[in-house]
Chains A and B, each alone.
Chain A
Amino acid sequence: MKITSSNSVRVSSSSLGAVVAACIGWLSTAFAMDLRVAVKDQNGQPVENAVVWVAPSARHSNPVGREIVQKNRQFIPEVTIVPVNSTVTFPNRDTVQHHVYSFSPAKTFDFPLYIGESPGTVKLDKPGVVTLGCNIHDWMAAYIVVLDTDFYARTDAMGVATIAGLPSGAANVQVWHPRLRGSPVRVFVNIDSATTATEVGLRLRPAFRRTPPDTEGGIYP
């Protein structure tokens, strides 16, 4: 925008484009809508830690940095959601060693035997699910869901996830959970009100401890 000596306002074409874009951005924010997804299992019980996202997204996803802590021989949190190109560290807050690894196609790595700060940072440059394990404690498991969208949320203890700031129109909603049988569940939802609510059912398998009987092996700290 340029102010001339005659006090009239003359607008160049590039400035006009910027103004239009800003207006569209403002309008889209002003009219952004929320999607509330309730996730239940095959028994009708609310499912916590389910990952809900809308894909693909035109909105640029911003990489973030996250920590997945090992405490009391567990990964905390069990489920982490990050956009593509985010980074994750794995500090060990236990008094015993851990050995974090992943065989997942989305990211393969391992950090052998350490205590304290994370030996390194993992950059997650491909979308997908990264399944974490500990080579010492077989029962330890956690999941990083790497998404190429910024529209995502994790269900709470009530099994509800809310994704804010969605544009109106048809949305391809996907839902995943660590105990889901098969691929993510897809549903198409028409976002047409300030808060659109929908419900998704998942068929989950039971959670097993995956430990051999201790009569045949040592109990490793």
Chain B
Amino acid sequence: MRLPLWILLTCVVYPGALHAGSLDITGDIWARYESNISNSDASRDRIATGVVGGRIGVQTAGVWSRDWRWHLGLSAEGESVVRFSDLSRMDVGIRAGVERKFGLGWRAPRLLVDMRSIGRISGEWDSSGIGLSPSLALTWQGGERWGISVQYSPQWFFARGVLFDSTAQTAGFSTWFDLFPTTRLQVRYQFRTGDIVSYATPPRPDLVAISEVQENTLVFGSPRVRYRFDADTHAIEVGVVQRLDDRYSLNAAYRLEITQGKGKEYENHVFEFGARVEL
């Protein structure tokens, strides 16, 4: 469903874009399994669980000139963590950005400059807050069936509780290949460096020594201490998107996350299945 309401949004951005926009609505639902949602390096502390989520996004976009485009979007996203409702969250976000295309045609490289901001309400009030994340992405479609993209994004999260304040930077590489006209294979690598929160059963003098902030919690039912410290995460993801028709698609992905920091290391195996509708 493409509604004429885009005028309201595009007028705010640039009157000259009045002939350029429309409103795109996307809805996503997903279910995810995480093998180590507690970010624990000790096997006794690792907790696996499931997450179900949904997202609805509304986006408008337009064209300024042959090479410049803009977009503006709003989204609402929620995730419910099975058994541990304190980790559940609801985000309301805004996204705005411009895209520069270098040349004419579908193979021309493009640079996307994006700014995203979210307001988060969590099951645990202290982890609610506001997030800010500009990003750069350079994308090149090398052929009808494949393309590559590199991304960089600093991320800030300002939480009510100081333990959940976070600063991080991510850089990534992704590629896609259409196996069939309706089946796309995606492979992504992402490196993240910044704050993480790890949950462990005390005593853990080693974590005390490296963490900047720590506090007691019952978020997993039994007494634990959570620690915030700097770490690097390497994540590689392999996913498949199966388009059912012009509106509906299914997706599945596996992601391996390896986090290392100050002598600590842990893994998280993530399996995700989702569906998308584009109206």
Contact = CB atoms under 8 A, between A and B. Distances in A.
Chain A interface helix/strand/loop/mixed = loop
Contacts of A220: 61-63, 69, 71, 99
Interface string A137-166: 011000000000000000000000000000
- On chain A, which size bracket covers the interface? 20 to 34
A219 B61 contact: yes
Given A96-B20, A112-B66, A218 B59 contact: yes
B21 interface: yes
Interface in A36-87: none
Interface stretch (A7-15, A117-125, A202-210): A202-210
Given A101-B105, A216-B149, A218-B112, A206 B180 contact: yes
Interface string A178-213: 000000000000000000000000000011111011
A221 B22 CA distance: 6
Contact of A218 (B66, B99, B178): B99
A115 B99 contact: no
Q: Which of B22, B60, B65 has most chain A Cβ within 10 Å?
A: B22
Chain B interface helix/strand/loop/mixed = strand
- On chain B, which size bracket covers the interface? 35 or more
A135 interface: yes
B106 A138 contact: yes
A213 B176 contact: yes
B105 A208 contact: no
B176 A212 contact: yes
Nearest to B110: A217
Given A138-B141, A209-B178, A219-B61, 20 more contacts: A95-B19, A96-B21, A97-B19, A115-B19, A135-B104, A135-B105, A139-B106, A208-B178, A212-B147, A213-B176, A213-B241, A216-B139, A216-B151, A217-B110, A217-B112, A218-B69, A218-B99, A221-B21, A221-B22, A221-B60
17 contacts: A96-B20, A112-B66, A113-B63, A138-B106, A138-B141, A139-B106, A208-B178, A208-B181, A210-B141, A212-B139, A212-B141, A213-B186, A213-B241, A217-B99, A218-B71, A219-B71, A221-B61
Top 4 A-B pairs ranked by shortest CB distance? A218-B71, A138-B106, A221-B22, A208-B144
